[in-house]
């Protein structure tokens, strides 16, 4: 008998558990409905007050936008040359510190006699490219696959130098358009007036120019060797000369290596010409932007910020009043 009653007892217990579960779910929905109903009634009872606060806030925000001058900015894209990145960041930090201190003597010393410190600020950040971090990791993984040789050390050194010359964005914030633009121009001139880097650039440009001239001489010599080889091959009408030529009292030279050397000289000349074009200042100017208004987020705009504050204050006051009422009922 006990064995026959056991399944019936189990089924009855399961039915009770399911019944309790459905009751809990029903109570939960009822509680949620009551909360939503109270919120609806609260909004319905205060709808005119809320609309009035929104209209008042929009009017105040619109008025403030007209009265308060808007913040402007100028963005300058630069590229440090001759490992001048640390210098660039240090000088920007120095200028910002003098702005905060309102040090007119410092700015007078660099040729800025009339300066308006209202809203004035200068910042600098690296211009990040998409997936630059991923490419850096791939490059490092590639280097790890090679043996530790002098050639790899040269590659790493060159790469580190290249990393220091990423593009950077200098941003000038100000309120006065004319004074702000003039301030940005004079600051860029001041940054590029460093005597140490000016000296390095002169030496580098002189070396690069000499390198180009020497490569041109070598290129002419290689062309002459290849020309003589071609003439000799044509005059003898022999294909048996092979891929090597013999210079006077010299070892055999592979003609394919000569062409490769010629291409190397051409690429080196092209690279040096580009570097001479880029490296005219310690910090190369890539783009000097125009004055533009600082774009704020949706809720940071005064016309939307003021209504949000008024509504927040009203809801806070209503909550405090409700809590005070409940506390009196408890007592």
Q: Any alpha helices (H) in 192-330, and if so which ranges?
A: 195-236, 255-278, 302-330
Q: What pLDDT, on a 0 to 100 scale, did the predictor assign at position 152?
A: 53
**pLDDT, mean of residues 312-322:** 86
Confidence of residue 189 (pLDDT cuts 50, 70, 90): very high
* In the predicted structure, residue 245 carries a pLDDT above the cut 60: no
Helix (H/G/I), strand (E/B), else coil: 167: coil
* In the predicted structure, residue 249 carries a pLDDT above the cut 50: no
**Pairwise CA distance, residues 286 & 168, whole Å:** 10
Phi and psi, residue 256, nearest 5°: -65, -35
Confidence of residue 224 (pLDDT cuts 50, 70, 90): confident
**Pairwise CA distance, residues 229 & 262, whole Å:** 15
Secondary structure element (H or E) that encloses residue 138, with its range: helix 132-144
* In the predicted structure, residue 33 carries a pLDDT above the cut 70: yes
Nearest to 170 by CA among 96, 230, 220: 96
* In the predicted structure, residue 15 carries a pLDDT above the cut 70: no
**pLDDT, mean of residues 304-312:** 84
* In the predicted structure, residue 297 carries a pLDDT above the cut 60: no
Of the given ranges (106-110, 276-280, 297-301), which has the lowest mean pLDDT?
297-301
**pLDDT, mean of residues 209-226:** 90
**Pairwise CA distance, residues 82 & 97, whole Å:** 25
Report which of residues 234 and 238 the model is more confident about.
234
First to last CA, the chain: 59
**pLDDT, mean of residues 236-251:** 51
**pLDDT, mean of residues 53-71:** 77
Q: What pLDDT, on a 0 to 100 scale, did the predictor assign at position 89?
A: 95
Of the given ranges (31-40, 85-94, 131-140, 220-229), which has the lowest mean pLDDT?
131-140
Q: What pLDDT, on a 0 to 100 scale, did the predictor assign at position 169?
A: 95
What share of the chain in percent tops pLDDT 90?
Answer: 28
Domain boundaries, the chain: 2-67+299-330, 72-127+166-293
Q: What pLDDT, on a 0 to 100 scale, did the predictor assign at position 217?
A: 92
CA neighbours closer than 13 Å in the CB half-sphere of residue 96: 14
CA distances from 316 to 61, 138, 167, 313, 330 (A): 21, 54, 48, 5, 21
Q: What pLDDT, on a 0 to 100 scale, did the predictor assign at position 299?
A: 47
Q: What pLDDT, on a 0 to 100 scale, did the predictor assign at position 240?
A: 47
Q: What pLDDT, on a 0 to 100 scale, did the predictor assign at position 91?
A: 96
């Amino acid at each position: 008998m006990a064995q026959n009653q056991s399944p019936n007892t189990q089924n009855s217990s399961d039915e009770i558990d399911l019944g309790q579960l459905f009751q809990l779910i029903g109570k939960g929905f009822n509680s949620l409905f009551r909360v939503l109903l109270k919120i609806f009634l609260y909004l319905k009872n205060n709808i005119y007050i809320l609309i009035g606060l929104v209209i008042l806030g929009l009017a105040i925000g619109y008025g403030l936008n007209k009265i308060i001058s808007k913040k402007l900015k100028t963005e300058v894209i630069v590229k440090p040359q001759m490992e001048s990145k640390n210098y660039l960041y240090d000088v920007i930090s120095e200028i910002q510190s003098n702005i905060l201190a309102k040090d007119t003597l410092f700015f007078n010393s660099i040729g800025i006699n009339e300066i308006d410190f209202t809203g004035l600020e200068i910042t600098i950040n690296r211009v990040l490219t998409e997936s630059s971090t991923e490419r850096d990791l791939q490059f490092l993984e590639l280097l790890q696959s090679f043996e530790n040789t002098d050639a790899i050390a040269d590659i790493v050194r060159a790469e580190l130098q290249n990393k220091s010359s990423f593009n950077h964005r200098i941003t000038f914030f100000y309120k006065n358009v004319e004074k702000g633009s003039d301030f940005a121009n004079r600051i860029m001139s001041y940054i590029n007036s460093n005597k140490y880097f000016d000296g390095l650039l002169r030496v580098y440009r002189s070396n690069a120019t000499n390198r180009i001239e020497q490569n041109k001489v070598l290129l002419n010599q290689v062309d002459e060797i290849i020309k003589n080889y071609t003439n000799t091959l044509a005059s003898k009408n022999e294909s048996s000369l092979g891929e090597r030529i013999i210079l006077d009292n010299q070892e055999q030279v592979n003609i394919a290596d000569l062409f490769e050397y010629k291409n190397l000289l051409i690429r080196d000349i092209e690279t040096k010409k580009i570097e001479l074009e880029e490296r005219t200042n310690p910090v190369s100017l890539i783009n000097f932007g125009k004055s533009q208004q600082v774009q704020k987020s949706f809720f940071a705009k005064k016309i939307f910020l003021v209504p949000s504050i008024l509504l927040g204050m009203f809801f806070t006051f209503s909550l405090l009043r409700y809590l005070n009422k409940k506390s009196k009922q408890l007592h």
